[in-house]
Amino acid sequence: MSHEKDACQYSIDICKLFITLASASIAFIVQIIINNEAILPLWIKYPTIILMATSVIAGVFSLMHVTFKVSQGKYDIHTNSYRHCATIQIYAFVLGICFLGGWALSLG
């Protein structure tokens, strides 16, 4: 049981980390757009914001799922519904970072 609790706590911490990083990325892009510090092409601006927002939303759903399981006294994080939300969260975040990296490479 202790192993399952540790795994559950670890998954919650990782989920929170991705939510924080995706939110910071959204704030970074919005700040660039507001200040017109750099011209962001449309193919970077909107997909990145959409992907990061998707990562945040999927992360919130993942946290809600884990909270529901913990409230039932179950610490199993290997259910399909949790794995799908977590996978969407991670892939959306990584793709959003790839778009940001593409923009950074196009500047230099």
pLDDT in tens, 56-85: 999 999 999 988 888 888 888 888 888 999
Residue 6, pLDDT > 90, answer no
The amino acid at residue 88 is: I
Whether 63 and 15 have beta carbons less than 8 Å apart is answered as yes
Residues 6+ apart with CB under 8 A from 9: none
- Reference 21, options 42, 48, 61, 47; nearest CA is 48
Are 22 and 93 within 8 A, CB to CB? yes
pLDDT 10s digits, 44-57 = 788 999 999 999 99
The residues near 58 (Cβ < 8 Å, ≥ 6 apart) are: 85, 86, 88, 89, 92
